[in-house]
């Protein structure tokens, strides 16, 4: 589960509200960028930001602040507040914002949500559902509709939404604990069709544990971090429900489906059940899967020939591309190879692209376009550790 530290902005200042009431706005930090950097230093990978001025005005107001954080930290920034058009979404994404949150407009103009999903993809679009007494609130929480929050979620799933932020406004900024009952209703009604992020009421580590055990995708923490009732580093460590374990042949069906979904190059011989079984028998200690709530979310198929390691497949399910799962898998496999005395690792069946190159280079691989192992790779990457020479 992801922990999203939150920064809400009014007039360029970091503030928090109580129950969505603008009259309760209180300054909680001096500088948005420095606050974001502190969150990053504590281990955060994402930051949740809301343009409260924009939410009231109906158009972005504090854009430069979000741009500044996206450009000057490694945090993935999600932004909401005042997002009403495709042009606004495009502008935010062009600034390096990882994804945008559509709030009120999801109820009033569901076609915009459908168009945004079609144009930008579900990974870039989040729908925020804010509720008072289980009814959806709009216009910066200033108006309440007659639509139940679960009904809105079900309609949004139909147009392709994969991620929701659910806020119980009565809990927001109160430090009174998350509304587990309403979150459970949403989880059960959507039955694994979407990612759910809890927002509002987070107070202590017990709230993080409750959301994690509910199987949620993420939890937003704001006031609890600023007032010190929740330690961000501890929350991130506690929320991590991903477990890495050795790969087994019994995982094959789930692995094959994931490889296909990820577009991995497959062949009928090496990647058949029999082929993978032979692979695992030759190298039983160096291939791993990531598991979350009983579901295989990623895998790395890795072996060696006594001289060099070979990463045959590495992928993370499109539904779980978060929390650094890929990096965790690679680290586990490289450590296993080192334990067997292997210090040179070759990545095969990899199609060169900017995102993929950046991932593997972050793991210490260097691009070698003059190599082509068994004609499987369009571009190979080599990792060499002098420490283990």
Residue tagged 């949004």 (tokens)? 156
DSSP 91: H
pLDDT at residue 322, as a whole number: 59
Q: Backbone phi, then psi, for 31, in 5-degree steps?
A: -135, 125
Measured between alpha carbons, how far is 167 from 201 in angstroms, rounded to an integer?
A: 9
* Separation of CA 233 from chain center: 17
> In the structure encoding, which two tokens stand for residue 230, read together?
């929740």
> In the structure encoding, which two tokens stand for residue 352, read together?
């060169």
Measured between alpha carbons, how far is 187 from 195 in angstroms, rounded to an integer?
A: 9
Length of the chain, in residues = 389
Q: Backbone phi, then psi, for 75, in 5-degree steps?
A: -70, 145
Show which residues are catalytic. Answer: 8, 130
Number of C-beta neighbours around residue 11 at 10 A = 11
> In the structure encoding, which two tokens stand for residue 57, read together?
């005005």
Strands 13-18 and 21-29: antiparallel
34: Cβ contacts below 8 Å, ≥ 6 apart:
none
Residue tagged 């490289």 (tokens)? 334
Q: Roughly how many angstroms between the first and final C-alpha of the chain, as a whole number? A: 38
Neighbour-count burial for 256-279, b at 16+ CB within 10 Å, e otherwise: bebbeebebeeeeebbeeeebeeb
CB 167 within 8 A of CB 131: yes
CB 215 within 8 A of CB 256: no
- HSE, CB side, 13 Å, CA atoms: give it for residue 264: 28
Q: Backbone phi, then psi, for 55, in 5-degree steps?
A: -60, -40
pLDDT at residue 20, as a whole number: 64
DSSP 124: G
DSSP calls for 218-245: EEEE-HHHHHTSS-HHHHHHHH---EEE
pLDDT at residue 373, as a whole number: 40
pLDDT at residue 353, as a whole number: 62
DSSP 265: -
Domains assigned to the chain: 2-239 (3.20.20.70), 243-388 (3.40.630.30)
Low-confidence residues in the chain, pLDDT < 50 = 140, 370-389
> In the structure encoding, which two tokens stand for residue 316, read together?
């993370």
């Amino acid at each position: 589960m992801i922990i999203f530290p939150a920064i809400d902005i009014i007039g360029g200042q970091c503030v928090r509200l109580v129950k969505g009431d603008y009259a309760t706005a209180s300054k909680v930090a001096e500088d948005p960028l420095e606050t974001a950097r502190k969150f990053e230093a504590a281990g955060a990978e994402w930051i949740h930001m809301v343009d409260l001025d924009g939410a009231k005005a109906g158009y972005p107001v504090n854009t430069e602040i979000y741009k500044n954080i996206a450009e000057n930290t490694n945090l993935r920034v999600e932004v909401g507040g005042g997002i009403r058009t495709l042009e606004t979404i495009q502008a935010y994404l062009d600034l390096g914002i990882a994804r945008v949150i559509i709030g009120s407009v999801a109820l009033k103009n569901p076609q915009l949500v459908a168009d945004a999903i079609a144009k930008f993809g579900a990974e870039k679009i989040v729908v925020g559902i804010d509720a008072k007494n289980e009814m959806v609130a709009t216009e910066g929480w200033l108006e309440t509709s007659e639509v139940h929050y679960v009904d809105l979620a079900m309609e949004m799933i139909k147009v392709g939404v994969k991620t929701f932020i659910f806020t119980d406004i009565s809990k927001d900024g109160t430090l009174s604990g998350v509304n587990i009952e309403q979150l459970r209703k949403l989880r059960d009604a959507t039955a694994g069709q979407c990612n759910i992020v809890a927002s509002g009421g987070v107070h202590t580590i017990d709230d993080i544990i409750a959301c994690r055990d509910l199987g949620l995708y993420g939890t937003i923490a704001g006031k609890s971090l600023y007032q010190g009732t929740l330690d961000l580093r501890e929350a991130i460590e506690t929320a991590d429900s991903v477990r890495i374990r050795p790969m087994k042949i019994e995982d094959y069906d789930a692995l094959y489906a994931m490889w296909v979904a990820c577009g991995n190059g497959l062949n009928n011989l090496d990647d058949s059940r029999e082929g993978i079984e032979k692979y695992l028998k030759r190298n039983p200690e160096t291939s791993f899967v990531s598991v979350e709530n009983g579901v295989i979310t990623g895998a790395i198929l890795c072996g060696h020939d006594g001289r060099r390691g070979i990463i045959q497949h590495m992928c993370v399910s499109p539904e779980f591309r978060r929390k650094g799962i890929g990096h965790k898998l690679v680290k586990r496999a490289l450590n296993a190879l080192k334990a067997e005395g292997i210090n040179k690792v070759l990545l095969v069946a990899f199609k060169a692209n900017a995102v993929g190159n950046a991932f593997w280079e972050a793991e210490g691989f260097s691009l070698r376009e003059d190599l082509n192992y068994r004609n499987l790779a369009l571009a190979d990457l080599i990792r060499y550790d002098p420490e283990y020479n």
